Structure 1
Amino acid sequence: MQSPVPDLLQTTAALSPSQSKTIREFLTHSAEPELARLEAEVERLQGLLATATAARDAQKSFTDAHRALLAPIHNVPEDVLRLIFLETLPRNRDAALAPDEGPLLVAQICRFWRNMALNTPRLWASMNVSIPRAPPGGHSAKVSASSSPAMLGMVSLWLQRSGTVPLSITLSAVPGDIHFRVPRDLQQLLVSNAARWRSLRVPLYYNVATIHRLAALTGAQLPQLQELSAYHMDAGSWNDPSAGWGLGGAPNLRSLTFRGHMAALSAVCAWAQLLKLHLVLCSGDISSTMNGLFVLPLHILEGCPLLEDLCFEWNGPAAHVVLPETPTTLTLLKLSRLAMHGIPSYILTSLSKRVDWHNVEAVAITFPRYAPSPLDYTWNVTSVIRVGITSLQLSGSHVRTDTLLEILDALPMIVELSLGQEPDQQPQMTTSLLGPDYDRDVSFLQHLTASDDDEIYCPRLRRIRLQNLSAVSDATIVEFLLSRLESRDSEVATLSHASFGIVRERQLDIPAKLRQAKDEGRELDALAWLQLSTQYPVPEKRAVYSPKDGIPDDDPVEDGFVFSLACA
């Protein structure tokens, strides 16, 4: 369309009366009618496009629905599909009663999967019940089902859907909740299914003697119980600790984690069949005390010939624990995993002379919190550490770099290393009453950094976990990881798992730096299967009840380690 006044367009020239009249007539009879026609055409075409788009989307959904029928998942037999569902459950804990995991997750996919989930009892037989906070000042008498009817209803539903299969149950709560109580209705609900318990875990800070319905159970009522974790210290056992503890008398118990009176446990437990034994020793256990000193209950081990996993944990002063006079010799030929937390060095040395545990492959040691001297942790390496050890975890008090390197030098076969914190440099002696000053060693990781020129410690290392890092920089971590991932013609193994718990602010994006190095040409084929976890401080969130309260966040990297992070 031609303009009647092309020379005036895009100018600021003043119009004459005749020019104004010409433009008005042009707009009225030509430009505006044409614009209206085009707008109508656009609207018509948009309508056609919308109709075609809707038809296309509907046809696509229709086609995809038919194409989905050819998906391999539809050819999976129902029994195999049920096994796949079971593999979605958390590996290292029971399933939370939450919609984002376990049976509630797979039941959301489609009607068929929902029906399959509802008819798979084993899928509902694992439950981590997070107890809501009790009201401030609340007591067990005041905490009932009314505190969380939704939680009770969910537990009841899971128990119903689990049919008659064995149950795995964990009770948990918000960490530090001193008002933690198990509602009476929940006690009754769980105890009514006690004959089906395969596993029961109760927080070790909560005395199950106060859970009256649980405390009243006997071993005969727990025919399927194989794993038990609990704290029990009955007030009556102060006078008669040998009276026994019903839960500990389960006839088929294979794994036991216990805190409380050892005498009460000794009276009933079927030790001969235990495979795993974790004992949290209490200074208040009068049945194990002599002249004010706690006597390590070695007599228990005499009856555990099949034991594969042993842990002693002591939280009291290091000088207050001693070994008994007997037994003088013990043989634990099946033992492959050993953990000693808070046990002083002289006890470890003496214990190693009494016990034959030469098949141990994994060792975890937490140094005493209350050591007699600042250097008590420089214990004799050969007392517990053996050449054949493949997994080592050290945590607790300060460890000097030279001591750590001495330990690692004695472990040429080590595949897994976990440290609770960075080691310290050589202490500088001062006149301070506090003793020597320690500084975190910012460069200790360089001793583990692979090089073509120098020999390194732990050449077979495949898994490493370092916690509470404050001095080591992110750049040093990146350098270490690159050296342990890069392909080279040497005997240095490549890492498969690496976990770093860092207590300072983030300096680098470590995963991004590794990918950048690979993009720049570094031979990092092993990066594709590296399980890497880097954790930094996060702001605290407002406390709101969640069915996952008290349950540690899942970290797939942790699945590869022998000892759990809770032991660090």
Structure 2
Amino acid sequence: MEDSTMNDFYTILAESAAPGFERQARSLLVEEEAKLARIESQLKMLLWTRDRQRARIAALKYVVSPVRMLPADVLLVIFKQAFWLGLGSFEPPSRLVLRLASVCAYWRQLVISSPRLWAWAMKLNVSNISPWYTEVTKTVFQRSSPHPLSITMTCRDHKKPVSATVVKTVLSFAHRWSRINVNFDLTPFLNAAPRPTLLEHLTFAKLALSQGAKGKESDIFLHAPKLFDLSISIGRLAKLPLPWSQLTKLELTTYRPFTSSEFLATIEQCTSVSDLQVDSDGWEQGDDISIPPHFVSLPRLRNLNLRMSGNLDPFFAHFTFPALSKLDVYLDWSVSFENSLRGPFSAFLGRCTALEELEIFGSEMNSETLDDILLNIPSVVDLQLICCFACVDNAFFERLTYREMDANPPAPRLEAINLENVGDCYDEDVVVAMVRSRWWKDEVYNALPTPPGVARWKNISISANDTDGAELSDEFKAVMQDICAEGLNFDVYTYTRPSG
């Protein structure tokens, strides 16, 4: 085809050398252009005929295919199965639904009329100010009615303003929220939600409110009877009224400044909470802290995770958690506060009579404080000390060494300890004595006439931080190997600086 086209081109160029050909060429040009127009018209008709024929063939294939015999409700079951299988491939839900709707007009109608296919978890970019984006969002919400909505709103580009139209569209469907996750300050928009609004489906909310949150106070979340799981980052706790008393799981991040009365009073209200995580700056020296004459109890709290810096005494002096099973205390070692776990913390542990797991990270406590802790954890089974550099020494291992004459041995139920990055201010023989005092081989343990006064070890792991070249002795390694052969998981590590 290409060679023929070039031959015609060179032929006309050769003919153009003849006298008078230019005048003849003008008339030929008109004729050839008219011929091209007729060919293009015929081609357009042929293309239309081809597309129509393809549609007829597709329709006939559908007519003779087994899937045509399936009732609409069976087809929808297949669609839903295909949809959920497609989600496993990480393909956007919208693309999966549109693909099903693009097969034929009948399938399109089925897809549009099936709300369940449109009730996927939506992730919205509120930085998108396109009117089309808002309309598509609204259309999806409408087509998924009446099913609950799981919505994540993110501001992907914080340099751009939040699209009020997108946010208000989401708020107009608040009565159907089941989960709402927002990474920007929603406060200025909350009053745009229809009133009254009952958030009857809402079970989970994750909110990030700026420290200086603007906008009028809104009580919208007070009307959410099923809201049990809340994650909130907030500057002023009183800014957004929330149903604290019904929450069973709470992740609370607060910023300074907050008043002790406001913070502690908020935690007091969480009488149904079983899982609590608090990330806060804590108190500073000299803060005016009002402690009630009696302890405040959260009777259902089982798991507590504290990520705090500064002085924690007001918290520990304020509360008692009789059902607490697991406690994690993560302290910011970049903010040194030497006595952050002194006094009130040990007494607090003594009140948590159901505590089984205790982890402390980054504490500046000394060995005396740790000794008090060991005397106040009678039910603890698993103890972890991580990056607590100044508290693990010979006195720690000697305190945990069991002697039959001890009427009240410390930590009698302790079965596992993990000491990670705690230094090496202890002697190997003291460690071995501690391990041996609470370890019996199976045959020896089973032959004891009465159970010992302490639990038998299950796991012991000790790792020192940089130790200036200190290494374990061969004798200690041999003892450790023998104990491991007897059935105890016993590991001691040291990290030495590379030479040079």
Which residue of 2 is the match for residue 310 of structure 1?
Answer: 276
Q: 1:284 Cα deviation (Å)?
A: 4.4
Amino acid at match of 2:326: A
**Aligned with 1:100 (options 51, 73, 90):** 90
User: What are the residue-to-residue correspondences of 1:508-523 with 2, within 5 Å?
Assistant: none
- TM-score, with length taken from structure 1: 0.45
Cα distance between partner residues in 1 of 2:152 and 2:360 = 28
**1:194 offset after TM fit, Å?**
1.6
Task: Map 1:438-457 onto structure 2 (within 5 A).
Answer: 441=422, 453=436, 455=438
Whether 2:111 is the aligned partner of 1:145: answer no
Bigger relative CO (Cα 8 Å, ≥ 6 apart): 1
Q: Is the 8 A contact 2:264 2:315 kept in 1?
A: no
- CA RMSD, 1 decimal: 6.1
Aligned residue runs from structure 1 range 450-465, under 5 A: 453=436, 455=438
Quote the residue 1:273 is aligned against.
Answer: 246
Matching of residues 292-441 of structure 1 within 5 Å:
294-301=260-267, 303-315=269-281, 318-319=284-285, 322-324=288-290, 326=292, 328-342=294-308, 344-351=311-318, 355-367=319-331, 373-378=337-342, 381-385=345-349, 386=352, 388-398=354-364, 407=373, 411=377, 414=380, 422-425=387-390, 441=422
- For residues 483-523 of structure 1, give each alpha carbon's deviation from its aligned partner in whole angstroms, at most 9, with x where no partner exists: 99x99766x6899xxxxxxxx99xxxxxxxxxxxxxxxxxx
2:198 matches 1:229: no
Amino acid at match of 2:181: R
CA distance in 1, matches of 2:119, 2:174: 16
User: Where do residues 74-113 of structure 1 align in structure 2 (5 Å cutoff)?
Assistant: 99-100=89-90
Counting matched residue pairs gives 352
CA deviations over 1:358-378 (Å, ceiling 9, x no partner): 111121223366867434345
Match of 1:164 in 2: 146
Q: What residue number does 1:436 align with?
A: none
Q: Give 1:263's match in structure 2, choosing from 231, 238, 242.
A: 238
Please say if residues 295 and 322 of structure 1, whose CA atoms lie closer than 8 Å, have aligned partners that are also in contact: no
AA aligned opposite 1:100:
F
Q: Aligned equivalents of 1:370 and 1:460: distance in 2?
A: 34
Asked if the contact 1:231/1:260 (under 8 Å) is kept, the reply is no
> What pairs up with 1:117-128 in 2 under 5 angstroms?
121=116, 125-127=120-122
Structure 2 letter corresponding to 1:395: F
Partner Cα separation in structure 2 for residue 367 and residue 377 of structure 1: 10
Cα distance, 1:403 vs structure 2: 5.8
Q: Which residue does the alignment assign to 1:527?
A: none
* Contact persistence 1:299–1:326 (CA under 8 A): no
The superposition leaves residues 386-427 of structure 1 with CA deviations (integer Å, 9 ceiling, x where unpaired) of: 4532333433554668866875685575566666x5331469
Maintained 8 Å contact 1:125/1:159:
no
TM-score, normalised relative to structure 2: 0.50
Task: Tell me what 1:207 maps to.
Answer: 185
Q: Distance in 1 between matches of 2:91 and 2:166?
A: 22
Alignment of 1:3-18 (within 5 A): none
Deviations 1:196-247 (A, max 9, x none): 21222223xx32224x267656672422222222234697979x8xx54433
Larger Rg: 2
Structure 1 pair 261/441, CA: closer, same or farther in 2 (3 Å)?
Answer: closer
Residues in 1 aligned to 2:166 and 2:218: alpha-carbon distance in whole angstroms: 25
For 1:7-46, what per-residue CA distance to the aligned partner results, in whole angstroms no more than 9, with x for missing partners?
xxxxxxxxxxxxxxxxxxxxxxxxxxxxxxxxxxxxxxxx
Measured in 2, the distance between the counterparts of 1:298 and 1:81 equals 51
* Corresponding residue number in structure 1 for 2:15: none
Unaligned runs of 5+ in 2: 1-75, 102-106, 393-419, 440-453
SS of structure 2 residue aligned to 1:144 = coil
Looking at structure 2, the residues matched to 123 and 321 of structure 1 have their Cα atoms a distance apart, in angstroms, of 53
Counterpart of 1:220 in structure 2 is 197
User: Contact conserved, 2:212 with 2:235, CA < 8 A, in 1?
Assistant: no
Q: Is the 8 A contact 1:308 1:335 kept in 2?
A: yes
Could you tell me whether the CA contact under 8 Å between 2:199 and 2:224 is conserved in 1?
Answer: yes
Flag the 1:303–1:402 CA change in 2: closer, same or farther, 3 A.
Answer: closer
Quick one: structure 1 residues 454 and 374, their matched pair in 2 at CA, closer, same or farther if it must change by over 3 Å? same
Superposed CA offset, 1:527-561 (max 9, x none): xxxxxxxxxxxxxxxxxxxxxxxxxxxxxxxxxxx
* Alignment CA distance shift 1:262-1:159 (3 Å): same
